[in-house]
């Protein structure tokens, strides 16, 4: 589930996890009604909540054992520690782990009852790119084990890399659903050609042929309407006798789709009192 802050991701997964009452409609998980069979569902799902925290003064292994003790049946803690690649930190206090390692403990805990479905609510928010990729590796291994993973994120790249199917959510509603490729094909606006550092001659020639071409920071961006467009652009540039630095062709991304469907960016920006823009961060993000 891909969506910006406040889209309704946590609300939706908490209903699926039987942690929040639904106000209308019907929700079934693994064929069971969340209103009637919550306890049965809970035995078969695993949950990594947003802003997950474990016990600071228990070690990694002790935390996993503690949560395992809540179920009739639980997996071997050492196996789970291996699965999330935390062998070296097995006897470390939870409070001494970095953010990325803490999230990996959270994934191990979400697996402790060997669930059929694992819900991960923003497992990588606030992590640096390396820690984020390490958590991705752990999530991919869940998928390889045949688990269904329901992951919420506001990182477009994360959805593209990890998902078989993506649901884009905004204002509590799904606005697009399918594989990343299907979504882009259905809602995308076609590939774009970006020509950087155009001089005046190139610029005039391109503008003459493609009057709607956008100009951003010295780059010209032209939507490729047909297969012939790219050779035409190259021919036009060549004939102009001018200079440019490079030509790049990009496919539309989920971010572009989100922008075209909602008119806003996924990672919304907010302006601080100083007037400096910063990325909007979630509460609890480190």
Ligand X SMILES: Nc1ncnc2c1ncn2[C@@H]1O[C@H](COP(=O)(O)OP(=O)(O)OP(=O)(O)O)[C@@H](O)[C@H]1O
Exactly one of 1, 3, 50, 168 binds Mg ion (CB under 5 A); that residue is 50
Among residues 44, 113, 131, 120, which one has the least CA distance to residue 77?
113
SS3 of the chain: helix, strand, coil, percent, to 5: 40, 20, 40
Indicate the angle between helix axes 200-209 and 229-240, nearest 10 degrees.
Answer: 140
In the bound complex, what is the minimum distance in angstroms from residue 109's beta carbon to ligand X?
20
Six token digits for residue 107 = 């994934």
If binding means CB under 6 A, how many residues of this protein chain bind ligand X?
A: 12
Exactly one of 46, 50, 118, 135 binds ligand X (CB under 6 A); that residue is 50
Exactly one of 2, 10, 229, 233 binds ligand X (CB under 6 A); that residue is 10
Exactly one of 7, 54, 64, 101 binds ligand X (CB under 6 A); that residue is 7
Q: How many CB atoms lie within 10 A of CB 197?
A: 13
112: phi then psi, degrees, rounded to nearest 5: -65, -30
In the bound complex, what is the minimum distance in angstroms from residue 35's beta carbon to ligand X?
17
Give the three-class secondary structure for 139: helix
Per-residue binding letters, 113-152, with ligand X (x by CB under 6 A): ----------------------------------------
- Interface positions, 263-282, toward ligand X (CB under 6 A): 282
Rounded to 5°, angle at Cα 247 from 243 and 248: 160
49's contact among Mg ion, ligand X, none, with CB below 5 to 8 A by partner kind, is none
- Select 6 or 178, whichever has its Cβ closest to ligand X: 6
**Site for Mg ion, rule CB under 5 A:** 9-10, 50
């Amino acid at each position: 589930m891909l969506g910006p802050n406040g889209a309704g991701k946590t609300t939706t997964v908490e209903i699926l996890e039987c942690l929040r009452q639904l106000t209308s409609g019907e929700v079934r998980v693994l064929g069971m009604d969340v209103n009637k069979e919550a306890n049965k569902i809970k035995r078969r799902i695993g949950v990594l909540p947003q802003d997950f925290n474990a016990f600071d003064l228990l070690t990694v292994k002790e935390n996993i054992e503690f949560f395992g003790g809540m179920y009739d049946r639980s997996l071997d803690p050492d196996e789970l520690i291996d699965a999330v690649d935390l062998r070296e930190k097995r006897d470390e206090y939870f409070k001494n782990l970095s953010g990325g390692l803490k999230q990996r403990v959270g994934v191990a805990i979400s697996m402790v009852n060997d669930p059929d479905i694992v819900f991960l609510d923003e497992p990588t928010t606030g992590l640096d790119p390396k820690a984020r990729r390490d958590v991705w590796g752990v999530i991919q291994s869940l998928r390889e084990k045949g688990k269904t993973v329901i992951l919420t994120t506001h990182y477009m790249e994360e959805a593209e890399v990890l998902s078989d199917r993506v649901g884009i959510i905004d204002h509590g509603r799904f606005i697009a659903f399918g594989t990343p490729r299907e979504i882009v094909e259905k809602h995308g606006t076609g590939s774009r050609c970006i020509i950087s550092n155009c001089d005046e001659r190139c610029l005039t020639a391109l503008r003459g042929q493609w009057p709607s071409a956008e100009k951003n920071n010295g780059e010209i961006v032209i939507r490729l309407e047909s297969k012939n467009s790219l050779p035409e652009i190259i021919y036009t540039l060549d004939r102009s006798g001018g200079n440019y630095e490079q030509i790049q062709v990009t496919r539309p991304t989920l971010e572009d789709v989100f922008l075209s469907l909602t008119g806003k960016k996924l990672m919304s920006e907010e302006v601080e009192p100083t007037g400096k823009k910063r990325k909007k961060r979630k509460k609890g993000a480190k």
